[in-house]
Structure 1
Amino acid sequence: MPVGRLPGPALRRRAERDPEGRLGEPYDCDFAGLDRRARAVAAELGRLLPPGSRVLLDYRQGADLAGAFYGCLYAGMTAVPLVGGGRAGAEPVAEAVERCRPAAVLTGADAWTALAVDRTRTRVLEADGVRVGGRPVDRTAQEWRPVGVLRTAPAYERYLTGGPGGGRVEPVLRHGDLAGALGELAAAARQGTPEDGLGWIAGVHGLEDAVWRMLLPVQDDARPRPGPG
């Protein structure tokens, strides 16, 4: 599998070739802006944490979540999305931190002060389209330097809330696993598979809705083929 098929390099390529192309709803950002957000997040994470660290992402589904997720991929760290956890109350975030033991929690500036996290044990960073860790996105993005990310390196862990034993983390998906799942999704999208069908395929591969919807549009070959005539 070529390195360019991995999700991080795929975004870098799309940002260069199609900077004004858009990720689509509900993320609502262009590829150049998403790449800039991701580079800023990756630069800040790389300054604070070693590669391979687990990072919990507490966001609503939107551009801030996408920037944080791709930032983890750029930095060679493992993203654990908790979509909307902080807005549903303190308990989901506190439980996720206890279960996941992340090295850091990333969240938007509007929730930063409200998170029920013991900051003596777990680092909390705000990261949105304006600032990352209190520093301007544009300036921080310029500090990013690519790191070598192996296909076999951990990339994403799905966290499931609730259940009899509380929240749990599903088996890790590696960068190569994501690329393989996206290749299958892209092939299905080219054939005109409807969204519910794409969601079913993604679920089989262990991708939650918020994740496959931010990853698939970046793939160059995910556009439906034109019909006859």
Structure 2
Amino acid sequence: MCARCVPQAVSGPSRSGGGPAPSVYRLPGPALRRRAVRHPEGRPYEPYDCDFAGLDRRARAVAARLGRLLPPGSRVLLAYQPGADLAGAFYGCLYAGMAAVPLVGGGPDGAGTVAEAVERCRPAAVLTGADAWTALAVDRSRTQVVEADGSRVGGDPVDRLAQEWRPVGVLRTAPGYERYVADGLGGGRMEPALRHGDLADAVGELAVAAGRGTTEDSLGWIASVHGLEDAVWRMLLLAPGGVGSA
């Protein structure tokens, strides 16, 4: 996500003010659902034409489609440019109880990086935008490729799929995010998975820091300590209060 995705004024609970510790912050998926119900027209990311209700609808559609194809716990590679489509796919994986592996922008070598990432992380499926589906360098006889954007997921309308979605029980200990690093060392590497609870704890801390006026660079440093890449913490830190706010 671009730099403008960082909320300019984030209100979050403070430990010194008696607010909850990061360990009790809501998991990211349920947090977005709550925000979509309470503030449907609020904007999670300022640069993109998407409100909380729209992001939740995209995520439910992705989760419904993934639920038809894969069991919970499956690894899903996300090949997108920064934007609302990436955020919808990421939250869709969380809603479905699957582990998202974002590959934002295709890496330094474009299609070649996608092929290397698929070979290295062996995802059960790849999600990508409809405009990139045909050209994506993936052996479809081995790996399912599903196009997912704001209009359709796997060829089905987002609105219809979103209505079909049913929640799955997602534990704090279930893997939610895995980072692929395209560093050129033998085709890249996978870093240890972060659990849903890890994501909630990390973004809870980020929300508190942002509420205290912490600079964007410092927020990025906090996120990196927790193992979150730039695009991921920006998606999770929903304006104006992150996953920990109501």
TM-score tier by shorter-chain length is over 0.9
Amino acid at match of 2:71: P
2:202 and 2:49 map into 1 onto residues whose CA distance is 23
Note the aligned Cα RMSD (angstroms).
1.8
- Where structure 1 has 5 or more consecutive residues not aligned to the other structure, the ranges are 224-229
Amino acid at match of 1:141: A
1:135-182: CA deviations, max 9, x gaps? 000001000000000000000001111233321111000000000101
Structure with the bigger RCO (C-alpha within 8 Å, sep 6+) is 2
1:60 paired residue among 52, 61, 81: 81
1:85 and 1:221 map into 2 onto residues whose CA distance is 27
- Where structure 2 has 5 or more consecutive residues not aligned to the other structure, the ranges are 1-22
1:58-97: CA deviations, max 9, x gaps? 0000000000000000000000000011895320010000
Amino acid at match of 1:75: A
1:98-155: CA deviations, max 9, x gaps? 0000000000000000011110100000000000000000001000000000000000
1:126: which partner in 2? 147
Query: Would you say 1:157 and 2:155 are equivalent positions?
Result: no
Amino acid at match of 2:149: D
Higher mean C-alpha deviation, range 165-174 or range 148-157:
165-174
TM-score, normalised to structure 1, is 0.92
Higher mean C-alpha deviation, range 22-31 or range 129-138:
22-31
4+ runs of 1 displaced by more than 2 Å? 25-28, 86-89, 162-166, 218-223
2:205 paired residue among 179, 184, 191: 184
Tell me by how many angstroms 1:196 deviates. Answer: 0.7
Q: Is the 8 A contact 2:236 2:242 kept in 1?
A: no
Query: Would you say 1:15 and 2:40 are equivalent positions?
Result: no
1:214 paired residue among 235, 239, 243: 235
2:104: which partner in 1? 83
2:242 and 2:185 map into 1 onto residues whose CA distance is 41
- Equivalent positions of 1:27-176 (< 5 A) are 27-85=48-106, 88-176=109-197
TM-score, normalised to structure 2, is 0.86
